[in-house]
Amino acid sequence: MFKVFLFLLLAIPIGAFTQDKACDTVLFSETNLLKHIKSLSSDTFEGRRTGSQGGLKAQKYIINQLYSLGVVPLVTDYKQPFRFIEKGKHYKGMNILGFIKGTDFPDDYIVISAHYDHEGVKQGEIFNGADDNASGVSALFSFAEYFRSHPPKHSIIIAAFDAEELGLQGSKYFLKSTILNAKDVILNINMDMISRSDDNELYVVGASDNKMLKATIQGGMYSSKIKLLIGHDGYDGLENWIYSSDHAGFYKKGIPFLYFGVEDHEDYHEPTDTFENIHPEFYIEAVKTIILVFNRIDNRKI
């Protein structure tokens, strides 16, 4: 997560989460979800720094998974290359973009995103980035798995963005490219740090000032095992996360978004953000909840 520290104005608990029934439904392989986050946050990927060998390995891993799950490329070989300069250093980035055509509203696009880059290696230590953000990328695969048996009504772009940690560069490039018209993107669902919470709290940002999204989220039955809270969006006195990750560019373009994430923890941007420190039960339940929120939104014309 690329944090911008803006402190503005009650996390709103969503009162409908009183039943386990919805999350008891088998939506994806929980074993595979944990396998992917463990793999992507292993030393093999060397912290997935943009432009590094570990970053290149992560690109191949993501492409292989999307292909095996039947997600077709949005661009040639799934790859959207871009270049940028950050603090005087030249970088080569690579977004990975997949596509699933909607059954009912094929001309309306929902971008489901997560960044795959992290801090890389610093002073000989690997910053593995399990929660930040192997958790979000692995959830992308669970979405893709879900879509194999539950085709989406809106067209879906699955976006694994690069260079989020270097100023949201990948999502910025995606939004200014000509791959599709921004007016055709009706929603961004962004996932960044969703695999651990001591308080079993998952926040969703972006719904407070969008009546349709707020009503849709509050009207659902998701899980009693974790708490889904609307907050961190400038209305509750908590740190404002509107600009904290790749959803920021969508927001600036006036595109509705929902960002799912957890509070910072002691291992945030530390070499201790490893697979061993995630909370597997919380993570599985969080991904189920996000998919069920998506499903409620997808089942209506936005």
Residue 24 has pLDDT above 60, yes or no: no
pLDDT at 302: 72
Single pTM value for the model: 0.92
Q: Give tens-digit pLDDT for 38-62.
A: 999 999 999 999 999 999 999 999 9
Between CA 206 and CA 9 the distance in angstroms is 14
Residue 9 has pLDDT above 60, yes or no: no
At the fourth CATH level, the homologous superfamily of domain 12-298 is Zn peptidases (3.40.630.10)
What residue type is 246 in one-letter code?
D
Between CA 130 and CA 33 the distance in angstroms is 12
Between CA 116 and CA 136 the distance in angstroms is 8
Q: What average pLDDT score do residues 35-39 get?
A: 98
pLDDT at 2: 59
Whether omega for the bond prior to residue 188 falls within 30 degrees of 0, making it cis, is: no
Residue 169 has pLDDT above 90, yes or no: yes
- Residues whose CB falls within 8 Å of the CB of residue 33, separated by 6 or more in sequence, listed in order: 138, 139, 141, 142, 283, 284, 287
Mean pLDDT, the chain, rounded, equals 92
> Residue 300's pLDDT band (boundaries 50, 70, 90)?
confident
pLDDT at 3: 52
Q: What average pLDDT score do residues 86-92 get?
A: 95
> Residue 5's pLDDT band (boundaries 50, 70, 90)?
very low
Q: Report CA 148 to chain centroid distance, whole Å.
A: 19
What residue type is 116 in one-letter code?
Y
pLDDT at 220: 84
pLDDT at 11: 46
Q: What average pLDDT score do residues 208-217 get?
A: 92
